[in-house]
Structure 1
Amino acid sequence: MHLNSSDINALERRRRAALINSITGYKPANLVGTVNAEGVSNLAIMSSLVHIGSNPPLLALIFRPDNTERHTLDNIRETGQYTVNHVHGDIIDAAHQTAARYPGEVSEFAATGLNELWLEGFSAPFLSQSVVRMGMEIREEIPLAINGTHMVIGEILTLDVPGDAINDDGALDPSLADSVAIAGLDSYYRSTLVQRMAYAKPEEKPRRL
C-alpha cells in the first residue's frame, strides 16, 4: 500500500489518526502524575516521552493543542513538578483507563484503583505500582505553531529503578522491569531483547555484545 499526501489527507479521520499514531512503531508507555493547586491528583497515560539530553538529564513530552482540556499540563504549569512512571504488564487495564475524560475534580488514581506514592520534598504523586519512577521538574515549555501542541521539557530530579534491571554498563533493560510499549493508541506490547551492539566506530566492524 502506497499513500501520498493527498491519500493520507483523504482518509477518514479516525482511520488517519489510527495510522499516523501507530506508524512510528513502539513507543514507551508511561503514566504522568500531577496535582493541582487544590490538591486533586491526576494520572494520565502518555506515549510521547523522548530523551533530550543526559547532562542535565532532560526528557520531553508533547501535549495536545489548546482547543481541549489538558489537566496534566495545567497542573505542571501550576506546581512545576510531575512524575513519569513506567507501565508494566499487570496494570495495563487501569493505565489505559486513565485516558478517559474524567472531570478535573476527579483523580484518575482513585477512579482506576491505582495508588499514589508521595515522597518527602516532592510535590507531585508517583505511582505506587510502578517500579521505574522519575520525579521531574519543568525546565521549558515550547508552543509548536505547526499544530498547536506544546512540548514540555523537564529535568529528572529523582529516579527509582530496580537494581536487577540495570545492565553492567548502567543502562536500563526495560524487559527486566516488565515495562510495556504502546503502538498506536490502544495496543500494548511486552519488550524482548533481540541483541545488544558495541559502540559504533568507523574503523571497526559492527560487534555484538
Structure 2
Amino acid sequence: MIIDATGLDPTSAYKLLIGSILPRAIGWVSTLSKDGVANLAPISFFTGVGRKPPMVSLSLQPRSDGVTLKDTFVNIRDTGEFVVNMVTLPQAHEMHRSAFEFASDVDEFIAVGLDKDPSVAVRPPRVKGAPISFECKLDRIIPIGNLGDHVVFGEVLRFHVRDDIYLPGGRIDTGAVQAVGRLAAEYTVVHNAFTPPLEPDLLATLHGRRVGRLDDKPAGYSPIDSKEWSASGATRI
C-alpha cells in the first residue's frame, strides 16, 4: 500500500508515524511551572541529537483539544529547565498514569504516587527509582507546522546513572534495566538482545510470529481504538 502523506489529516499521519517508528524511546519528562508545581509526562517523540555538548530533543503536540499547549512545553519554555527520566518496567504503570491530562495546578508526582529526588544543576526533580536521569537546560525551541507542534532541544548538564548499571569504561549495562519503550499506543519491555547474524533455523522459527502479550488483551488489541486515546500523545481521563 502506498499512502500519499500530503492528503492525510493530522490524526491519520500520527497513527502511521507511531505505528511505524518502533520501538520508540520514552522520555519521562519532569518539569516545574513558574509557580513551582511539578509536572511529569511521558514523551515518546524523544531522542538524542548531539554529543558535545550532549543534547536531546522532545517533540510536543498540544493537548487533546488540539489547542491548549501541554504543561511540559509551557514549563520548559517559561523556566528553561527539564529532566528526562528513563522508564523501566517497575514504574511502567505510574508512567502510563502520568500521560493523563491533569489540571496545571496538580503535582503529578503526588497524583500518580511517585517520590522525588532532587536534581543538582536544575530545579525540576528527578523520579525517585529511575535508573537513569538527564538534567537538561533549554537550548532552543523550533515550531513545526501550523498546529502548535514544537521541537524542544535541551543540553544535558548532568547524567544520573544508578551505580549497579554503570560499567567500567563508562558503558551502561543495558541488559539489566528492563527498559520500556512505545509501540504505537502500547508499550514494550526490552527482554532480549542479539548481535547479527542469527542462525537461519532461529530466524525461521521467528518469521511472522506476533509479539507475546504480557497482559490479558487479545492479539491485535490497540488503545488507539478506545475513546481514551488521543492523537496528542496524552491519554484522556
TM-score, with length taken from structure 2: 0.73
Q: Does 1:22 align with 2:11?
A: no
C-alpha deviation, 1:187, in angstroms: 2.2
Cα distance in 2 between the residues matched to 1:82 and 1:174: 24
2:61 maps to a residue whose letter is R
CA deviation map 1:74-122 (0-9, x unaligned)? 1112211110000110111110011111000111111110111113452
- Matched position secondary structure for 1:61: strand
Cα distance in 2 between the residues matched to 1:142 and 1:171: 32
2:4 maps to a residue whose letter is S
2:134 maps to a residue whose letter is M
1:63 maps to a residue whose letter is L
- Matched position secondary structure for 1:4: coil
Unaligned runs of 5+ in 1: 198-209
- Matched position secondary structure for 1:59: strand
- Matched position secondary structure for 1:114: coil
1:117-156 matched pairs, under 5 angstroms = 117-145=117-145, 148-156=148-156
Greater shift after overlay, 65-74 or 149-158? 65-74
Distance of aligned partners of 1:41 and 1:166 in 2 relative to their CA distance in 1, 3 Å threshold: same
Cα distance in 2 between the residues matched to 1:173 and 1:19: 32
- Matched position secondary structure for 2:78: helix
Cα distance in 1 between the residues matched to 2:196 and 2:74: 40
1:63-82 matched pairs, under 5 angstroms = 63-65=60-62, 67-82=67-82
The alignment's C-alpha RMSD in Å is 2.7
CA deviation map 1:153-196 (0-9, x unaligned)? 10111111134434555333433222211111222322422128
TM-score, with length taken from structure 1: 0.82
- Matched position secondary structure for 1:22: helix
Cα distance in 1 between the residues matched to 2:196 and 2:80: 37
- Matched position secondary structure for 2:151: strand
Cα distance in 2 between the residues matched to 1:181 and 1:90: 13
Unaligned runs of 5+ in 2: 198-237
Give the structure 1 partner of residue 38 of structure 2. 41
- Matched position secondary structure for 1:133: strand
Greater shift after overlay, 92-101 or 139-148? 139-148
Q: Does 1:61 align with 2:58?
A: yes
Give the structure 2 partner of residue 5 of structure 1. 4
Give the structure 2 partner of residue 172 of structure 1. 172
Greater shift after overlay, 64-73 or 167-176? 167-176
Aligned residues of 1:174 and 1:191 also touching (Cα < 8 A) = no
Aligned residues of 1:109 and 1:115 also touching (Cα < 8 A) = yes
Give the structure 2 partner of residue 200 of structure 1. none
Cα distance in 1 between the residues matched to 2:124 and 2:196: 35
Identity over aligned residues, as a percent? 24
Distance of aligned partners of 1:56 and 1:191 in 2 relative to their CA distance in 1, 3 Å threshold: farther
- Matched position secondary structure for 2:158: strand
